[in-house]
Structure 1
């Protein structure tokens, strides 16, 4: 599929700048955004200080990568049990033409009630993507809704309670691995 190839190319390009790993692998990655939550509230990165923040970029019409990743994040939250209170997952849509807060309100809670969907104007998404150093683009595809799909970076970002970038979880990282890593960090943080 052309989209998979484009997404892989984007990941490869991203990976050459910031491979999976620790903050030292990508020191310039930061959470910097002003987007509208699926609850209608304008949010910035400062709203999530005090929590471990998982951030994933995607779109609601994504056929496979996005629902798979959101399901892994949901499983991680369930597996963390009470410790999940220390974590805030964010799903930032890269499809500003189709994904508005109301669309995200229908889509995101299907995976887990704690995941917050964020939408924005093309300019807001562009600015957020630049701060996270992610790849995304609109890709024509006749069989997709509205005749296009989105190629995008499919890694999950982890930020600490102070808002500092910690690491990336590559696409396909299983929930038990994310859970073990987060549990250890939450316990060590106190």
Structure 2
């Protein structure tokens, strides 16, 4: 025998069923989100964020265009060649990760992009020599101050020129900048990030997984 509570439950269930039926009719069959690999270091965003157009110059003088960042997972790190500690340490760690994924075919191999945010002192040529000293495959780029500000803002990163304490020479300065690493997917979208401390083995394993390389 039905009581009033039972009737309410049945009505609610019927309404939920009709709502699901209407959703399927309007949007098509419901499918689960694609499975993501188990990652140790990379934190992915859902959904990835499309970046606005940007203007940077590579170390060989050619423009860094969006198309060049497609087809590969890319790690973007900000820095400058006069950096005394964080930049060389991070690039050395990334070079260890790059060596571990070197066997991946070039068309899909993950990449590292080093962007200098010190346009006053860092020419494209100098940026290239600096980055390639750590790993020959590293992409290196810089740009004008407005272009760098636009690019880094799109990655939710920051940088700022700062005086060196106790030094009066205006030519002696440092650059404060974000220490995180942006992770771009194969469509050149902001798909996630890496936070320090960086562990090359875990970074390499994550990038292999994202590229589709079976775990060893």
TM-score (norm 1): 0.81
Equivalent pairs counted in the alignment come to 169
- Contact residue 48 and residue 192 of structure 2 kept, 8 A: no
The whole-number CA distance in structure 2 between the counterparts of 1:56 and 1:31 is 18
**Mapped pair 1:22 → 2:44:** yes
Distance apart, 1:157 and its partner CA: 1.2
Larger Rg: 2
Which 5+ residue runs of structure 1 have no aligned equivalent?
1-19
Partner residue, 1:129: 152
* Residues 158/31 of structure 1: CA separation in 2 closer, same or farther (3 Å cut): farther
TM-score (norm 2): 0.71
Which 5+ residue runs of structure 2 have no aligned equivalent?
1-41
**Mapped pair 1:103 → 2:131:** no
Partner residue, 1:62: 83
* Residues 185/143 of structure 1: CA separation in 2 closer, same or farther (3 Å cut): farther
Runs of 4+ aligned residues of structure 1 deviating over 4 Å after TM superposition are 26-29
- Contact residue 113 and residue 139 of structure 2 kept, 8 A: yes
Correspondence for 2:207 among 182, 185, 188: 182
* Residues 93/84 of structure 1: CA separation in 2 closer, same or farther (3 Å cut): farther
Partner residue, 1:49: 70
The structure where helix makes up a greater share of residues is 1
- Contact residue 163 and residue 170 of structure 2 kept, 8 A: no
Distance apart, 1:182 and its partner CA: 0.7
Distance apart, 1:166 and its partner CA: 2.2
The superposition leaves residues 139-163 of structure 1 with CA deviations (integer Å, 9 ceiling, x where unpaired) of: 0002999310000001111111112
Partner residue, 2:39: none
SS of 1:54's partner is strand
Distance apart, 1:94 and its partner CA: 0.8
* Residues 81/88 of structure 1: CA separation in 2 closer, same or farther (3 Å cut): closer
- Contact residue 77 and residue 182 of structure 2 kept, 8 A: yes
CA RMSD of aligned residues (A): 2.3
Partner residue, 1:91: 114
* Residues 165/57 of structure 1: CA separation in 2 closer, same or farther (3 Å cut): same
